[in-house]
Structure 1
Amino acid sequence: MTPSARTFDTAVMPHLHAAYNLARWLLRDDRSAEDAVQEAYLRAFRFFKDVRGDDVRPWLLGIVRNACHDWLRQNRHLDDQVEFDEVRDSDMAASAADTAYADPFVLLDHRDLAGRVNEAIAALAPAFREVIVLRELEEMSYDDIARVAGVPVGTVMSRLSRARALLRRSLHDDRPAALRERKA
């Protein structure tokens, strides 16, 4: 089915969550991410007739990426950005904490690990953070990530390998003493 045979809503709107997720990780601010996604969707709507192929997700996320980079270039002077905290801000985490039969130690371990993973991802350089988010959180293929980032597949693989190594090192070095002792 060609892009002209389908509507913008049915082809692009199902990827809104992925677009916001990528923007949130790149910009590290919920409101800025919302603005960037809105701008990206306006651009996507304008150029929707030019889409080639059936899979619009990489095309759309490339536009989101570019909108985020444009936003960062225009707003570098803003130092008051607030980082999104998955554990604190997630409805899922809140509902899990409310579960009466949940083991409090398991919940504590889960919250601690999720928080440390989010901090480790946020500390990555933007190029590494981008490939981790697209591969591990959005489950995109290497080819699609290459299309989104505008780099060769080999570069995606290299960045992903380095990002994973940095995450492993960060999570290992940052593990609280109480967890190291209990796991041993």
Structure 2
Amino acid sequence: MMPQSQLPYTFFILLVEAQNEWCKGSCGEMKWKWGNVPIPIQHLAGLILGTMLQVSVPRPIFNDPRVGNILGLVIAATGIGIVIWSVIAAGHVDIESPQKLVTSGPYARSRNPMMFAWTLIYVGIALVANSVWILALLVLVILVTHFADIPKEERFLENQFGDEYIEYRHRVRRYL
């Protein structure tokens, strides 16, 4: 049996392989760019610190960890699906230094689908790990994301794309 820690990664690989197989000959060139899969440092830091606290002073969320496993895997899988959809929608655009504003796919519904997706993955991991600490640190992760990362990114995009980004910002919500 596969360790639980490998399940999200395995699910991600299976989704990519399934799409590659499904698209053979009909989707044209695959639009996958690994550089467009940024892992936000605040999410990673929250997971690491929360795990350290959980190991030192265990605080489970559920008495029966199977509840967290089921909920967590569904939530994390949803987040992984949104990450995959976002990367495919971005195509060959380098999201770290874009020359084109991506407004299709999940970007038509959210200006920050990746941040939303990473937050879902974070929550899923917290539930699977059955850790109050990881979940509690989510508040700090969200605050850093909302007040530091997103405004910086929005200023960059407004400078890069001007009126096109301003119109997009008015048309599409920040998160959902």
Highest RCO, 1 vs 2 (Cα 8 Å, sep ≥ 6)? 2
Structure index of larger Rg: 1
* TM-score using structure 1 length: 0.31
**TM-score normalised to structure 2 length:** 0.32
Q: Which has the higher helix share?
A: 1
